[in-house]
Amino acid sequence: ADYINDIKITGDDIWLATLNGVLALSARRGDLTVQYNRNNGLAHNSINQILPDSEGNVFVATESERLFTIHPESGISDYGVSMYGLMLNKIVGLTRDSRGVIWAATHGNGVFECYPDSVNSLNTSHGLLSNYSYSILADSMDNIWIGHERGFSCFNRGSGIIRVYSTDFARGGSC
């Protein structure tokens, strides 16, 4: 048995993020079609989340200095440039805003705004509640919501302002 962290569906494929890589299953046949892990190009086997795009590719949240993308026809490739921080990135969550930009939440290095040719970072020096993130979401107004232990942060892309909701709001919980 494998520990499943995330499940996504694209077309006929069911994608599983597991402690042993990414599994793709055929929804129609119910069988394993392919497994992606360190042996065929991923940086780490422990996968925290997967984020499909409109073309059937899947972005992978794992321990790495960069994002990886699985292309069902051609395999694994890295996406964009390196995301540097004070420690190795443990990417715990991914989201996509309305412009198609990928945002990566990390456990220790804050949040990265990832483009194919560049990356921007947000961390406590920019106003985040914590550099340790547990979840991330882009809402319909392109605010980026980041869950932390004992609260959450909201980055308004339009204004560049980060608003923090701490223990008074979250009542001591993890987000």
pTM of the model: 0.91
Task: Measure Cα distances from 5 to 19, 30, 98, 119 in Å.
Answer: 8, 19, 25, 26
What pLDDT does residue 117 have?
A: 92
| Gap between the terminal Cα atoms of the chain | 28
Average pLDDT over residues 59-79: 93
Confidence bin at 111 (pLDDT 50/70/90):
very high
Position 84 pLDDT exceeds 90: no
34/25 Cα distance (integer angstroms): 7
Strand partners, 97: none
Closest CA to 128 of 141, 139, 112, 114: 112
- Do residues 43 and 27 touch, judged by C-beta distance below 8 A? no
Average pLDDT over residues 141-157: 94
Position 172 pLDDT exceeds 70: no
Position 1 pLDDT exceeds 50: no
Position 18 pLDDT exceeds 90: yes
Cβ neighbours of 83 (radius 10 Å): 22
Average pLDDT over residues 80-104: 91
Residues 6+ apart with CB under 8 A from 153: 127, 128, 129, 130, 145, 146, 162, 163, 164, 165
What pLDDT does residue 174 have?
A: 57
140/167 Cα distance (integer angstroms): 25
- Do residues 103 and 136 touch, judged by C-beta distance below 8 A? yes
Position 132 pLDDT exceeds 80: yes
